[in-house]
Amino acid sequence: MKVTVRFFAHLKEEVGIECEQLELCAGSSINDLVEALRERYPSLRNDEKYLIAVNSVRSKLDRRLAEGDVIALLPPVSGG
Amino acid sequence: MIKITREDFSVDEVIKSLKKREVGGIVTFVGIVRGESQGQLVERLEIEAYEEMAVRDLEEIRRTAIERFLVEEVMIVHRVGDLKVSDNIVLIAVGATHRQEAFDACRFILEELKRLVPIWKKEHILGGRSTWVRDEPTSAS
């Protein structure tokens, strides 16, 4: 299944892209995706502080992903 | 109303739109770009948002504030893009029957926005260095 991953703020700069599509095995969880991303972008291993949102909703790491999901890696926020 | 925008906003216009019979007071908070950060001069601020999610979060915060503090109306505008020193960043405006609810709701909205909403600031220091702002204390604007 295909999912889209979005990066923001310093994570976007560390991985060098804003957005990418990834092919995952059916039934993959957010945990599986994070592991795959850490393999692909070793700099993510140094940064444990980001939250994950699936389709704009904060999600737990054991959530199963579905075809077409948009997963965002969110560093600590600083708006206002 | 919730708005994430690259454009500046008019505080007067927002205040005007909040005026109605039930409202006896309007509290506003305007966050602006500080010219100094940890002893260094700031040249400009870059603001990034995950817009779809930020709007969703702000709508939820607005709904909660209206229910919890029984205020009449709430407007939140947050800018993104490149901003200069003293430019407006954020406007929170709360119209209520009485002042106490308006102050309390405004404070609540600001703290929730800073705690939760996916918006990030990058400070560009005069002379070239730039850093993403992290973990601001709640007393800062």
pLDDT (tens digit, 9 = 90+) per residue, B18-70?
Answer: 999 999 999 999 999 999 998 999 999 999 999 999 999 999 999 999 999 99
> Of the candidates A8, A53, A56, which has its C-beta nearest B120's C-beta?
A8
Contacts with A10 from chain B: Cβ below 8 Å: 120, 132
B2-132 — its CATH code? Answer: 3.90.1170.40
Distances (CA, A) of A62 to A25, A33, A34, B52, B58: 15, 10, 11, 23, 26
pLDDT at B140 over 80: no
pLDDT at B141: 41
Tokens, residue A69: 């999901």
Distances (CA, A) of A31 to A17, A77, B138: 21, 22, 31
The third-level CATH classification (topology) of the domain covering A2-74 is Ubiquitin-like (UB roll) (3.10.20)
Tokens, residue B131: 């850093």
**b/e burial code for range A26-61 (CB count within 10 A of at least 16 → b):** eebbbebbbebbeeebeebeeeeebebbbebeebee
pLDDT digits (tens, 9 = 90+) for A38-63: 999 998 888 778 999 999 999 999 99
pLDDT digits (tens, 9 = 90+) for B66-117: 999 999 999 999 999 999 999 999 999 999 999 999 999 999 999 999 999 9
> Of the candidates A10, A74, A80, which has its C-beta nearest B118's C-beta?
A74
pLDDT at B128 over 90: no
Q: Which of residues 99-118 of B touch A (CB under 8 A)?
A: 110, 113-118
Tokens, residue B116: 């939760």
Residue with tokens 């909403």: B117
Cα nearest neighbour of B136 on chain A: A78
- Candidate from B6-10, B57-61, B91-95, B131-135 with smallest mean pLDDT: B131-135
Domain map of chain A by residue range? 2-74
Contact A79 B119 (CB under 8 A): yes
Residues A1-25, mean pLDDT to the nearest whole number: 96
Decide: residue B3, CB within 10 A, 0-12 exposed, 13-18 middle, 19+ buried.
middle
What gap in Å lies between CA B5 and CA B91, rounded to an integer?
11
> Of the candidates A9, A53, A56, which has its C-beta nearest B132's C-beta?
A9
Amino acid type, A70: V
> Of the candidates A10, A57, A74, which has its C-beta nearest B132's C-beta?
A10
pLDDT at A45: 86
B59 vs B137, higher pLDDT: B59
Contacts with B54 from chain A: Cβ below 8 Å: 79
What gap in Å lies between CA B26 and CA B96, rounded to an integer?
6
Contact A53 B50 (CB under 8 A): yes
What gap in Å lies between CA B25 and CA B12, rounded to an integer?
14
Q: Is this prediction's pTM over 0.90?
A: yes
Q: Does A75 touch chain B (CB under 8 A)?
A: yes
What gap in Å lies between CA B99 and CA B93, rounded to an integer?
12
CA angle A49-A55-A61, nearest 5°? 40
Cα nearest neighbour of A56 on chain B: B53
